[in-house]
Amino acid sequence: MADKGFVIDDLLFDVGAKLIPPFKRSVQFSKEDTEKTQAIAHLGIVVEKIIGLIKSSRIWD
């Protein structure tokens, strides 16, 4: 996120990017989008847990 007093649109344009501000009104996700987001978040948690178990077991030492 950028500070409101710092304009970076021209800098982003130079590298081919565009700043997309967050929605001003809350837009509720559809049921399908919510389920996809939850599934992705769950996979991330599983991966982090496995990485933690590998690090704590020291099988790579």
Is 16 within a domain? no
Please indicate, yes or no, if residue 23 is contained in any of the structural domains: no
pTM over 0.85: no
Q: Is residue 7 part of a domain?
A: no
The two structure tokens encoding residue 3: 């500070």
10-residue averages of pLDDT along the chain (61 residues): 69 85 76 92 94 81 62
Q: Is residue 57 part of a domain?
A: yes
- Tell whether 12 is covered by a domain: no
3-state class percentages of the chain: helix first, strand second, coil last, to nearest 5: 55, 0, 45
pLDDT value of position 60:
62
Domain for residue 20, yes or no? no
Q: Report yes or no on 47 lying in a domain.
A: yes
Query: In terms of residue numbers, what domain contains 41?
Result: 29-61
Predicted confidence at residue 4, as pLDDT, reads: 64
Q: Would residue 54 count as lying in a domain?
A: yes
